[in-house]
Protein backbone atom coordinates (compact mmCIF):
# COMPACT_ATOMS: atom_id res chain seq x y z
CA UNK A 1 0.00 0.00 0.00
CA UNK A 2 1.48 3.34 -1.04
CA UNK A 3 0.67 6.95 -0.34
CA UNK A 4 1.79 10.06 -2.16
CA UNK A 5 1.15 12.56 0.63
CA UNK A 6 0.35 11.88 4.28
CA UNK A 7 -0.77 14.67 6.59
CA UNK A 8 -0.33 14.24 10.33
CA UNK A 9 -2.35 16.73 12.37
CA UNK A 10 -0.86 16.68 15.85
CA UNK A 11 2.78 15.63 15.54
CA UNK A 12 3.35 14.33 19.06
CA UNK A 13 4.35 10.92 20.39
CA UNK A 14 1.77 8.94 18.40
CA UNK A 15 1.56 11.05 15.25
CA UNK A 16 5.31 11.53 15.15
CA UNK A 17 5.98 7.82 15.65
CA UNK A 18 3.65 6.93 12.79
CA UNK A 19 5.42 9.44 10.56
CA UNK A 20 8.78 7.88 11.45
CA UNK A 21 7.38 4.41 10.75
CA UNK A 22 6.36 5.61 7.29
CA UNK A 23 9.90 6.83 6.71
CA UNK A 24 11.44 3.58 7.95
CA UNK A 25 9.16 1.59 5.63
CA UNK A 26 10.40 3.60 2.66
CA UNK A 27 6.90 4.62 1.65
CA UNK A 28 8.22 7.58 -0.33
CA UNK A 29 5.26 9.67 0.81
CA UNK A 30 5.64 13.35 1.49
CA UNK A 31 4.78 13.87 5.15
CA UNK A 32 3.09 17.12 6.06
CA UNK A 33 2.85 18.13 9.71
CA UNK A 34 0.15 20.33 11.13
CA UNK A 35 -0.64 21.67 14.58
CA UNK A 36 -1.16 24.78 16.66
CA UNK A 37 2.44 25.24 17.80
CA UNK A 38 4.82 26.46 15.12
CA UNK A 39 7.73 25.83 17.50
CA UNK A 40 6.78 22.16 17.89
CA UNK A 41 6.35 21.75 14.14
CA UNK A 42 9.77 23.30 13.53
CA UNK A 43 11.24 20.74 15.93
CA UNK A 44 9.46 17.96 14.05
CA UNK A 45 10.94 19.17 10.78
CA UNK A 46 14.36 19.55 12.36
CA UNK A 47 14.19 15.96 13.61
CA UNK A 48 13.25 14.73 10.14
CA UNK A 49 9.79 13.61 11.24
CA UNK A 50 7.96 15.75 8.65
CA UNK A 51 9.00 17.17 5.29
CA UNK A 52 7.10 20.42 5.69
CA UNK A 53 4.57 21.92 8.04
CA UNK A 54 1.80 24.45 8.41
CA UNK A 55 -0.58 25.54 11.16
CA UNK A 56 -3.46 25.78 8.67
CA UNK A 57 -5.49 22.55 8.60
CA UNK A 58 -7.09 23.13 5.20
CA UNK A 59 -3.68 23.82 3.67
CA UNK A 60 -2.19 20.77 5.37
CA UNK A 61 -4.75 18.29 4.03
CA UNK A 62 -4.82 19.70 0.50
CA UNK A 63 -3.70 16.98 -1.88
CA UNK A 64 -3.20 14.38 0.85
CA UNK A 65 -4.46 10.86 0.25
CA UNK A 66 -4.16 9.98 3.94
CA UNK A 67 -4.84 12.23 6.94
CA UNK A 68 -4.03 11.13 10.49
CA UNK A 69 -5.64 13.01 13.38
CA UNK A 70 -3.23 12.94 16.32
CA UNK A 71 -4.92 15.77 18.20
CA UNK A 72 -6.44 15.46 21.70
CA UNK A 73 -10.00 14.15 21.65
CA UNK A 74 -11.31 17.56 22.68
CA UNK A 75 -9.93 19.03 19.45
CA UNK A 76 -11.29 16.42 17.01
CA UNK A 77 -14.53 18.23 16.16
CA UNK A 78 -12.77 21.53 15.51
CA UNK A 79 -10.22 19.76 13.33
CA UNK A 80 -12.92 18.01 11.29
CA UNK A 81 -14.64 21.35 10.78
CA UNK A 82 -11.37 22.85 9.58
CA UNK A 83 -10.73 20.15 7.00
CA UNK A 84 -14.30 20.02 5.70
CA UNK A 85 -14.29 20.84 2.00
CA UNK A 86 -10.49 20.72 1.76
CA UNK A 87 -9.93 16.98 1.37
CA UNK A 88 -8.82 15.58 -1.95
CA UNK A 89 -11.14 13.10 -3.71
CA UNK A 90 -10.46 9.60 -2.41
CA UNK A 91 -8.66 10.79 0.71
CA UNK A 92 -8.91 8.65 3.84
CA UNK A 93 -8.96 10.06 7.37
CA UNK A 94 -8.16 8.14 10.54
CA UNK A 95 -7.41 9.09 14.12
CA UNK A 96 -5.49 7.68 17.09
CA UNK A 97 -7.69 8.66 20.03
CA UNK A 98 -8.26 6.49 23.10
CA UNK A 99 -12.07 6.77 22.88
CA UNK A 100 -14.04 6.14 19.72
CA UNK A 101 -17.72 6.86 20.28
CA UNK A 102 -16.94 10.57 20.67
CA UNK A 103 -15.06 10.62 17.34
CA UNK A 104 -18.09 9.19 15.53
CA UNK A 105 -20.35 11.68 17.33
CA UNK A 106 -18.09 14.57 16.32
CA UNK A 107 -18.13 13.41 12.70
CA UNK A 108 -21.92 13.21 12.72
CA UNK A 109 -22.12 16.72 14.19
CA UNK A 110 -19.84 18.17 11.51
CA UNK A 111 -20.93 16.24 8.43
CA UNK A 112 -24.47 15.15 9.31
CA UNK A 113 -23.41 11.50 9.16
CA UNK A 114 -20.16 9.59 9.57
CA UNK A 115 -18.36 10.01 6.22
CA UNK A 116 -17.41 6.78 4.42
CA UNK A 117 -13.78 7.94 4.33
CA UNK A 118 -13.41 8.17 8.12
CA UNK A 119 -11.86 5.15 9.88
CA UNK A 120 -11.57 5.71 13.66
CA UNK A 121 -8.57 3.94 15.14
CA UNK A 122 -6.70 3.47 18.39
CA UNK A 123 -3.14 2.13 18.64
CA UNK A 124 -2.71 0.38 22.00
CA UNK A 125 0.77 1.77 22.38
CA UNK A 126 2.51 4.69 23.96
CA UNK A 127 4.06 5.66 27.25
CA UNK A 128 4.04 8.47 29.76
CA UNK A 129 6.28 10.64 27.59
CA UNK A 130 4.82 13.19 25.20
CA UNK A 131 5.92 15.42 22.36
CA UNK A 132 7.61 14.74 19.05
CA UNK A 133 10.98 14.27 20.80
CA UNK A 134 9.60 11.04 22.28
CA UNK A 135 8.54 9.65 18.88
CA UNK A 136 9.94 6.30 17.74
CA UNK A 137 9.50 4.34 14.53
CA UNK A 138 9.29 1.16 16.64
CA UNK A 139 6.51 2.33 18.95
CA UNK A 140 3.80 0.23 17.30
CA UNK A 141 5.86 -2.86 16.45
CA UNK A 142 3.84 -5.97 17.48
CA UNK A 143 1.30 -3.79 19.31
CA UNK A 144 -2.43 -3.94 18.79
CA UNK A 145 -4.41 -1.34 16.88
CA UNK A 146 -8.20 -1.31 17.13
CA UNK A 147 -10.28 0.08 14.27
CA UNK A 148 -13.93 0.96 14.86
CA UNK A 149 -15.47 1.65 11.44
CA UNK A 150 -19.07 2.82 11.33
CA UNK A 151 -21.85 1.05 9.48
CA UNK A 152 -21.28 2.93 6.23
CA UNK A 153 -17.49 3.23 6.37
CA UNK A 154 -16.08 2.31 2.96
CA UNK A 155 -14.37 -1.13 2.99
CA UNK A 156 -11.54 0.22 0.86
CA UNK A 157 -10.90 2.96 3.42
CA UNK A 158 -10.69 0.35 6.18
CA UNK A 159 -8.32 -1.72 4.03
CA UNK A 160 -6.01 1.25 3.51
CA UNK A 161 -5.86 2.10 7.20
CA UNK A 162 -5.34 -1.57 8.10
CA UNK A 163 -2.41 -1.67 5.68
CA UNK A 164 -0.98 1.47 7.24
CA UNK A 165 -0.79 -0.15 10.65
CA UNK A 166 0.13 -3.68 9.56
CA UNK A 167 2.54 -3.08 6.68
CA UNK A 168 4.06 0.21 7.77
CA UNK A 169 3.94 0.23 11.57
CA UNK A 170 4.19 -3.53 12.16
CA UNK A 171 1.08 -3.65 14.35
CA UNK A 172 -1.68 -6.24 14.80
CA UNK A 173 -5.05 -4.86 13.70
CA UNK A 174 -8.42 -5.75 15.20
CA UNK A 175 -11.86 -4.39 14.31
CA UNK A 176 -14.77 -3.89 16.71
CA UNK A 177 -17.60 -1.44 17.31
CA UNK A 178 -16.95 1.84 19.06
CA UNK A 179 -19.15 1.16 22.10
CA UNK A 180 -17.41 -2.12 22.89
CA UNK A 181 -14.01 -0.52 22.44
CA UNK A 182 -14.88 2.27 24.85
CA UNK A 183 -16.16 -0.11 27.52
CA UNK A 184 -13.05 -2.30 27.39
CA UNK A 185 -10.61 0.61 27.34
CA UNK A 186 -12.41 2.30 30.22
CA UNK A 187 -11.56 -0.75 32.34
CA UNK A 188 -8.09 -1.58 31.10
CA UNK A 189 -6.60 1.84 30.36
CA UNK A 190 -8.69 4.77 31.53
CA UNK A 191 -9.44 3.40 35.01
CA UNK A 192 -5.75 2.58 35.77
CA UNK A 193 -4.77 6.11 34.74
CA UNK A 194 -7.41 7.57 37.05
CA UNK A 195 -6.08 5.47 39.93
CA UNK A 196 -2.49 6.51 39.30
CA UNK A 197 -3.32 10.21 38.95
CA UNK A 198 -5.60 10.05 41.98
CA UNK A 199 -3.07 8.33 44.24
CA UNK A 200 -0.27 10.76 43.44
CA UNK A 201 -2.59 13.73 43.92
CA UNK A 202 -3.77 12.32 47.27
CA UNK A 203 -0.24 11.79 48.55
CA UNK A 204 0.81 15.23 47.31
CA UNK A 205 -1.64 16.72 49.80
CA UNK A 206 -0.57 14.60 52.80
CA UNK A 207 1.45 16.08 55.60
CA UNK A 208 5.12 15.20 55.24
CA UNK A 209 4.84 14.73 51.47
CA UNK A 210 8.60 15.02 50.90
CA UNK A 211 9.30 12.16 53.27
CA UNK A 212 6.53 10.08 51.70
CA UNK A 213 8.05 10.35 48.24
CA UNK A 214 11.59 10.00 49.56
CA UNK A 215 10.72 6.53 50.88
CA UNK A 216 8.78 5.48 47.79
CA UNK A 217 10.29 2.37 46.21
CA UNK A 218 9.97 0.49 42.95
CA UNK A 219 6.40 -0.59 43.48
CA UNK A 220 5.23 2.99 43.85
CA UNK A 221 7.28 4.06 40.83
CA UNK A 222 5.84 1.28 38.66
CA UNK A 223 2.25 1.81 39.79
CA UNK A 224 2.33 5.58 39.30
CA UNK A 225 4.43 5.76 36.12
CA UNK A 226 1.41 6.66 34.02
CA UNK A 227 0.62 9.62 36.28
CA UNK A 228 3.37 11.41 34.31
CA UNK A 229 1.17 11.25 31.21
CA UNK A 230 -0.12 14.34 29.41
CA UNK A 231 -2.80 15.97 31.64
CA UNK A 232 -4.63 17.62 28.73
CA UNK A 233 -4.89 14.39 26.81
CA UNK A 234 -6.25 12.52 29.83
CA UNK A 235 -8.67 15.31 30.70
CA UNK A 236 -10.15 14.91 27.24
CA UNK A 237 -10.25 11.11 27.49
CA UNK A 238 -12.16 11.32 30.79
CA UNK A 239 -14.76 13.63 29.31
CA UNK A 240 -14.98 11.79 25.98
CA UNK A 241 -15.53 8.37 27.55
CA UNK A 242 -17.30 9.60 30.66
CA UNK A 243 -20.17 7.09 30.83
CA UNK A 244 -18.00 3.99 30.42
CA UNK A 245 -15.35 5.40 32.76
CA UNK A 246 -17.94 6.23 35.43
CA UNK A 247 -19.26 2.67 35.29
CA UNK A 248 -15.72 1.35 35.78
CA UNK A 249 -15.03 3.80 38.63
CA UNK A 250 -18.25 2.90 40.47
CA UNK A 251 -17.52 -0.80 40.11
CA UNK A 252 -13.97 -0.33 41.38
CA UNK A 253 -15.17 1.82 44.28
CA UNK A 254 -17.52 -0.96 45.39
CA UNK A 255 -14.69 -3.48 45.28
CA UNK A 256 -12.40 -1.07 47.16
CA UNK A 257 -15.01 -0.79 49.88
CA UNK A 258 -15.05 -4.60 50.13
CA UNK A 259 -11.26 -4.62 50.42
CA UNK A 260 -11.45 -1.93 53.11
CA UNK A 261 -13.92 -4.07 55.04
CA UNK A 262 -11.54 -7.05 54.90
CA UNK A 263 -8.73 -4.93 56.37
CA UNK A 264 -11.00 -3.46 59.04
CA UNK A 265 -12.17 -6.95 60.05
CA UNK A 266 -8.64 -8.34 60.10
CA UNK A 267 -9.88 -11.05 57.74
CA UNK A 268 -6.61 -12.84 56.94
CA UNK A 269 -8.18 -15.60 54.84
CA UNK A 270 -10.31 -13.12 52.88
CA UNK A 271 -7.30 -10.93 52.12
CA UNK A 272 -5.17 -13.88 51.08
CA UNK A 273 -7.93 -15.20 48.83
CA UNK A 274 -8.27 -11.81 47.12
CA UNK A 275 -4.50 -11.43 46.70
CA UNK A 276 -4.12 -15.02 45.44
CA UNK A 277 -6.89 -14.54 42.88
CA UNK A 278 -5.31 -11.30 41.68
CA UNK A 279 -1.86 -12.89 41.38
CA UNK A 280 -3.11 -15.97 39.55
CA UNK A 281 -5.17 -13.86 37.16
CA UNK A 282 -2.31 -11.53 36.34
CA UNK A 283 0.15 -14.39 35.92
CA UNK A 284 -2.27 -16.17 33.60
CA UNK A 285 -2.73 -13.16 31.34
CA UNK A 286 0.79 -11.72 31.58
CA UNK A 287 1.79 -13.06 28.13
CA UNK A 288 -1.00 -10.95 26.62
CA UNK A 289 0.36 -7.83 28.33
CA UNK A 290 3.79 -8.37 26.83
CA UNK A 291 2.70 -8.68 23.22
Instruction: Decide the pairing of beta strands 92-95 and 30-34.
Output: unpaired
Between 112-121, 225-234, 273-282, the lowest mean confidence (pLDDT) is in 225-234
Residue 291 has pLDDT above 60, yes or no: no
Q: What is the pLDDT of residue 211?
A: 87
pLDDT (average), residues 53-60: 98
pLDDT (average), residues 11-35: 94
Query: Does 3.40.50.720 match the CATH number of domain 5-176?
Result: yes
Residue 84 has pLDDT above 90, yes or no: yes
Residue 185 region by backbone torsions, left for phi larger than 0, else alpha for psi between -120 and 50, else beta: alpha
Select from 85, 48, 62 the least CA-distant residue to 7: 62
Q: What is the pLDDT of residue 19?
A: 96
Q: What is the pLDDT of residue 174?
A: 96
C-beta separation of 10 from 35 below 8 A: yes
Q: What is the pLDDT of residue 277?
A: 97
What residue spans define the domains of the chain? Answer: 5-176, 180-289
CATH superfamily membership of 180-289: 6-phosphogluconate dehydrogenase C-terminal like domain (1.10.3660.10)
Note the pTM of the prediction, 2 decimals: 0.90
DSSP per-residue string spanning 182-202? HHHHIIIIIHHHHHHHHHHHH
Amino acid sequence: MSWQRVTVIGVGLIGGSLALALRRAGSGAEIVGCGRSAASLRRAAGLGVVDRWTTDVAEAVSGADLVVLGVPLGAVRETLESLRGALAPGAVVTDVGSAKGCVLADAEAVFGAVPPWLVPGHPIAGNERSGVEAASAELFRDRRVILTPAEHTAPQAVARVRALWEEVAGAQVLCTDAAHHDQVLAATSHLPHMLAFGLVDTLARWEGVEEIFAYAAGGFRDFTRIASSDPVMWRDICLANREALLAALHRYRADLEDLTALVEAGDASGLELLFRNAKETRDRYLPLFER
